[in-house]
Amino acid sequence: MIGYEIIAKKRDRHELTREEIDALVRNYSSGKIPDYQMSAFLMATYLNGMSFQEITDLTLAMRDSGIVLDLSDIPGVKIDKHSTGGVGDKISLILAPLAASMGVTVPMISGRGLGHTGGTLDKLQSIPGFDIFISTDRFRSILKSIGVSMIGQTEEIAPADRKLYALRDVTGTIESIPLISASIMSKKLAEGIDALVLDVKVGNGAFMKTLDRAVDLAQHLVMIGEGAGKQTIALLTSMDEPLGQAIGNWLEVAESIEVLKGKGPTDIRELSVILAAYMKSMADQKISYDVAYNIAAENLDNGKAFSKFIELVKHHGGDFTLIQNPQRYPKAALIKEVTAQNEGFVVSMNTYEIGMTGILIGAGRQTKEDSIDHTAGIILHKKVGDSIKKGDCLATIYTERETRLDEASRKLLNAYRIDFNAPDKQPLILGVLDKNGFRSI
């Protein structure tokens, strides 16, 4: 009866006790509560919300569904970063080795693609051999030897999030502040960090469409982190257009390699450098944000961050020769250009639709069981503010799925709004929130 009573209580908008939340998570993790009951609970939570106490209890119950790592024997301050999810968001692939190249220890637990957004784990798995499910002993030993390791939720670490994450993905229950908060923070509190930097996405390609909602989410995340004794800050960053040009797993790895070599799109470079500067200045109080910013930029230009990425791939069993020679990676069988039908400026992009187009052509999952085509994806040649002539190539589609090409082209074309007047430039970073509150920058 435990599942039924808790679902009914949440359906009727009553506050759940810690014991009830613990029982729900414990019994779901052990398989006693089936997916269909948990789906009903997730939907009741999505619709009726949770008090801050309930969210904290859910986070801690999910954290305690597995082990909580103690990394105190590994020298240095351990800091991770987590994004609430976006399209073309490959920042973790760059940031984790970049911060490690600056002396920050980065134990990172990431997720798969969720809804229309991509996931760091899927991107890492596009590197042949890269093992994201190493044992905790191996995770610790990689961290000790190179200062960075990247894994997924496992049977040992945050297993409840692993199951719930996959279930939310297919039950229309992603965009919920309580569920996102508990999902992110349960993983982060299990990984043995001292401090955390969050990238809370805002805009038409984010789960939080408005700044108010994003600030609300950021406040929850920061309060949970600080309540658990971890210094936590959140940057609020724009997701009104995809990050960079590449969408799709290997295409995003290839673009990350460019940025790690001091090249690549400026929005990705800038956000990576800013986040690394926060991580470094939090890890080492003697280093100011501005000094840390310069070190981060230097380490992208001098090859240190790239070398760290190669080490990371090597230690996880990945084929690092492909990182050294990305042009050797196989290409998708079908390549199609989407061209502009009129002239003007790109005034906006429907980032959600672009993410959904990526899923349609095989870069993400439509059901829990779907496998991903690592070569599938989109390269955007035009972004907001760019001027367009009729016939210009807006985007290139890479896929194996011939039957989806026409629909994907139509969706991409419709995702671009082209008009005569150039739009105002929108900032990438909208503000920062820490325990003292929100400030715009």
Q: Whose Cβ is closer to ligand URA: residue 85's or residue 358's?
A: 85
How far is residue 418's CA from residue 16's CA, in Å, rounded to a whole number?
A: 49
Strand partners, 335: 398
* Residue in 396, 371, 356, 381 with CA at minimum distance from that of residue 126: 371
Which one of the spans 176-184, 293-301, 334-342, 416-424 is the region binding ligand URA (CB under 6 A)? 176-184
List binders of ligand URA among 104-123 (CB under 6 A). Answer: 111, 114
* Residue 247 or 346 with smaller CB distance to ligand URA: 247
Residue nearest to ligand URA (CB): 183
Catalytic residues, by residue number, are 82, 161, 168, 183, 187
Q: At its nearest, how many Å lie between ligand URA and the CB of residue 89?
A: 10
Q: What are phi and psi of 337, to 5 degrees?
A: -95, 140
184 binds ligand URA (CB under 6 A): yes
CA distances from 348 to 160, 362, 383, 397, 431 (A): 38, 25, 8, 20, 21
3-state SS assignment for residue 299? helix
Binding ligand URA (rule: CB under 6 A), the pick from 62, 180, 296, 305 is 180
Segment lying near ligand URA (by CB under 6 A), choices 134-142, 177-185, 249-257, 355-363 = 177-185
DSSP codes joined into one string, 237-290: EE-SS-SSSEESHHHHHHHHHHHHTT-S-HHHHHHHHHHHHHHHHHH-TTS-HH
Q: Which of 45, 183, 245, 272 binds ligand URA (CB under 6 A)?
A: 183
Measured from the CB atom, the residue of 84 and 375 that comes closer to ligand URA is 84
Going by C-alpha positions, the residue among 65, 96, 73 that lies closest to residue 83 is 96
Nearest to 88 by CA among 299, 307, 357, 326: 357
Q: Measured from the CB atom, is 175 or 194 closer to ligand URA?
A: 175
H helix intervals, 302-350: 304-315, 320-324
How far apart are CB 293 and ligand URA at their closest, in Å?
A: 26
Q: Mask: binding to ligand URA, 65-84, rule CB under 6 A, as x and -?
A: -------------------x
70: tokens are 């103690």
Instruction: Give the nearest distance from C-beta 128 to ligand URA in angstroms.
Output: 25
Of 85, 147, 205, 355, the residue at the interface with ligand URA (CB under 6 A) is: 85
Interface contacts to ligand URA, rule CB under 6 A: 84-85, 111, 114, 180, 183-184
